[in-house]
Amino acid sequence: MSSLVFDLNETVLILTAFEALLLAMFIGLLPGYRKQSKLFLCMFFACIAGTLISTMFIWNKKVQESFAAELTFLPVLLSLCWMLQGPALYLYLKSLHTIIDIRDKRYLVHLIPPLLVVGIIQWAGIDIYSWLPWNWKIIPADQLQSVLLVWAILKCFPALYVIACFYTEYKARAAMKDLFSTIDDDSLRLADLVIYGYFVHWLWALLAYLLSGHVSGHTSHMHGVLSNYLTVIFINLVFVFGWKNKRELLKIEFTQQKEFVAKSDLAMATAPVQTRSASIEKANEDQVQVPLERDNADSSDLVSPEYIVDPRKIARIDSAISERKLHLEGQINLERFAEHVSIRPRELSHILNTVYKVNFFEFINNHRVEEAKRLLSSPDESNDSMLNILYRAGFNSQSAFHRFFKRITGLTPSEYKKLHAPKGKRRRTK
């Protein structure tokens, strides 16, 4: 009876790599993500799949006994896929709140370490045979030094991206709250899951590497196997998350379309920037004739700390809320709000932070909560469903509505409705 080509552990790695590729395909089809974010996250999972496949082949006994053992292709593939995970994840998190110009030479820095490792592998001729730790005692000393250097870089280099990813994720959340009134909680939870999974897997791989010289070969091998299984667990957690939240992740585009169709300015939302600006100017003429103030000397649109807020601009912001009800638009963002009130986006953000002491997200949602409170306590709206009320108040998500409402009022929407319901209605509910 012939022996199996792949053992149980290797079969699990193959299936997990297939899952990682499925995740990349699934994320690529999500309508709610920005294109750049989808690209970088797909790259991250593709790199994980490449890492698993190359690891499986390198440690496969059949491959070690074949002519492939003398090739550098698999060590190169493993090193590239392992080291590109950090840059892909970092750029994904960064792309959540800013547009990345891949032509910018600064981003080429991320490719230098992986290419350096590939260069060392090719120069030293590090093949599968010399890659395996149990052969290190019988390979040439200069090649051994190169192998140890490559292993040290592979295990220690991701630490830089772990730190960068946590910091970038924090910055992404802060930036989103400055720019948007609605934050995609499911996408952020996916980002959290990915970054923490990456961190745990790297940390275990680093500990296994540091202990490798102080434990037996069998124990060191078991550390490597457990490191692979951590990747398996991580990929399956992400897969289960995506499956359980597929409806929320896939409904984003529909929700956006639904909200914009409900508005009279659908054409303005889908038209080019110049057309939108012209439409907004016309709408402003119907309200209040306010010229758009521009500072020709400051084309970068920066606001100095010494900037003195014009009371007329505050009045326009208040009017946009009290009269034009811009906070009820489900997809309102900082740029769109700024166009409506004829104030530059960064200047508007500065005013909200200095005068109102809140970011754009809190400013809009505070007013949405006030509208929800009005609807919940109104006798005319007593028969309206909670779902309809949250949409009418400008919220797009039940979880975001309940979380923000309770944070502001100290009560859940249902508790608030019972407490402030008209007396006749309150008696019926008892």
* pLDDT tens digits for range 365-393: 999 999 999 999 888 887 888 889 988 99
Mean pLDDT of the chain: 78
Spatial separation of the C-alpha atoms in residues 98 and 176, rounded to whole Å: 10
pLDDT at 193: 84
Answer whether CATH 3.50.50.60 is correct for domain 265-289+306-429: no
Q: Looking at residue 131, what is its pLDDT?
A: 92
Residue (of 373, 395, 376) closest to 384 by Cα position: 376
Tokens representing 20 are 């990682």
- Sequence-distant (6+) residues with CB within 8 A of 349 are 178, 334, 359, 360
Residues of the chain with CATH 1.10.10.60: 265-289+306-429
Q: Hey, what amino acid is at 137?
A: K
**CA–CA separation, 422 and 377 (whole Å):** 7
Angle between helices 158-179 and 141-156 (to 10 degrees): 20
For residue 430, what are the CA distances in angstroms to 93, 120, 121, 385, 427? Answer: 49, 76, 76, 18, 5
* Single-letter code of the amino acid located at 62: K
Tell me the CA end-to-end span of the chain in Å, nearest whole number. Answer: 75
Q: Indicate the pTM of the whole model.
A: 0.67
Residues of the chain with CATH 1.20.1070.10: 8-250
Helical segments of 125-157, H only: 128-131, 141-156
Q: Which amino acid is at 42?
A: C
Residue-level pLDDT at 268: 34
C-alpha 78/C-alpha 85 separation (Å) is: 11
Residues 245-280: b if buried by 16+ CB within 10 A, e if exposed = eeebbbebeebbeebbeeeebeebbeeeeeebeebb
Q: What does each C-alpha distance from 263 to 182, 257, 329 come to in angstroms? A: 17, 10, 8
Nearest-angstrom CA–CA distance, 90 and 169: 9
Its CATH class, for the domain covering 8-250, is mainly alpha
Output the pLDDT for position 154. Answer: 93
Q: How far apart are CA 27 and CA 24, in angstroms?
A: 5
Q: Please, which residues bridge with residue 180 across strands? A: 333
pLDDT at residue 153, as a whole number: 94
The structure tokens listed for 40 are 């970088």
Please give the sequence-ordered ranges of beta strands (E in DSSP) within 145-274, or none if there are none.
Answer: none
Residues (pLDDT < 50) of the chain are 1-2, 4, 251-306, 426-430
pLDDT number for residue 262: 36
CA–CA dist 190, 196 (Å, integer): 10
308 DSSP 8-state letter: P
Q: What is the pLDDT of residue 232?
A: 82
Alpha helices, DSSP H, located in 311-359? 311-322, 334-341, 345-354
> Dihedral (C-alpha) 302, 306, 312, 318: value to the nearest 10 degrees?
80
What pLDDT was estimated at residue 325?
Answer: 92
